[in-house]
Amino acid sequence: MELLKGKAAMVTGGTRGIGYAIVKLYLENGACVALCGSRQETVDKALDKLRAEKPEYFEEENSRVIGLCPDLQKPEEVEKAVATVKETFGSLDICVNNAGVSARESLYTYKPEDFANTMALNVNAVFNCSQAAAKVMKEQGGGVILNTSSMVSIYGQPSGVAYPASKFAVNGLTKSLARELGKDNIRVNAVAPGVTRTDMVAVLPDEVIKPLIATIPLGRVGEPEDVANAFLYLASDMASYVTGVVLSVDGAART
């Protein structure tokens, strides 16, 4: 079943990991997708990978994929990217704010500029994209904004305080914007992944990852596809009465 047939989506952080899995699943479900990354080079690499796997998505007459690399911290660049999606596909129905960074630094050595940088991408950029997307969605009669939160937005984490703080803020944006934008037929939800097998997790040393897995009731880390499935449900009309939720996809991990 093509749950997103006729819809146009924009996915930030779409070049790899969870974002790339969302891009693929949305395309499989009939959507047109703007894959966004931080650099043209990584966007091109991701598009090449996708083209090799699914050349049919790139057919000249009805290509369903474009690549963009707006600076998400610059509202004017984000607005331009949103306008490009609308021009190319005719609408912007789904905006996935997925780009994010994390660092595990002790409070005692945390540099204020590192704290600010994490907030700038994980929170300010979500605000910028939500604002630009909501303007277009309101005009066209509705849409869906989805944010990637994290398990740590519920439990906190014992180091690298900017990351959990930023994801608590993402939940705040999600719940508040759901209430503000409901009247414009715009749903706003978040997915809170647990430990998921992506580059962000690959850099963690064994002594961190192994004890973590031991505490997960489902006995494994999540796959990007596990998380993407939640993004598919929330983007689709199957979730037409769901807004303001932070959906955990974490195997019941509680660390």
Alpha carbon 101 to chain centroid distance? 12
Stretch that binds ligand NAD, among 16-24, 54-62, 104-112, 211-219 (CB under 6 A): 16-24
Q: Please report whether residue 174 would count as binding ligand NAD according to CB under 6 A.
A: no
Cα distances (Å, whole numbers) of residue 184 to 95, 134, 143: 15, 9, 9
Which segments of the chain does DSSP mark as H helices, in order? 17-28, 40-53, 75-89, 112-119, 125-140, 152-155, 162-181, 199-202, 206-214, 224-235
Q: Please report whether residue 255 would count as binding ligand NAD according to CB under 6 A.
A: no
Nearer to ligand NAD, 143 or 193 (CB): 193
CA distance 4 to 139: 20
Number of residues that bind ligand NAD (CB under 6 A): 26
Concatenating the DSSP letter of every residue in 66-133 gives EEE---TT-HHHHHHHHHHHHHHHS---EEEE---------TTT--HHHHHHHHIIIIIHHHHHHHHH
Min separation Cβ 201 and ligand NAD, Å: 5
Q: Please report whether residue 118 would count as binding ligand NAD according to CB under 6 A.
A: no
Q: Please report whether residue 9 would count as binding ligand NAD according to CB under 6 A.
A: no
Where in 68-107 is the site for ligand NAD (CB under 6 A)? 72, 98-102
User: Does the annotation count 163 as an active-site position?
Assistant: yes
Answer for which of 7, 16, 24, 187 binds ligand NAD (CB under 6 A) is: 16
Answer for which of 67, 143, 160, 193 binds ligand NAD (CB under 6 A) is: 193
Stretch that binds ligand NAD, among 14-22, 57-65, 103-111, 205-213 (CB under 6 A): 14-22
Min separation Cβ 58 and ligand NAD, Å: 20
Catalytic option among 26, 155, 163, 241: 163
Cα distances (Å, whole numbers) of residue 120 to 124, 163, 189: 5, 11, 20
Where in 208-247 is the site for ligand NAD (CB under 6 A)? none
Name, in order, each residue with C-beta under 8 angstroms of 246's C-beta and a sequence gap of 6 or more. 149, 153, 154, 171, 174, 175, 189, 190, 191, 192
Q: Which residues are catalytic?
A: 163
Interacting residues toward ligand NAD by CB under 6 A: 12-13, 15-19, 37-38, 42, 72, 98-102, 121, 148, 150, 193, 195-196, 198-201
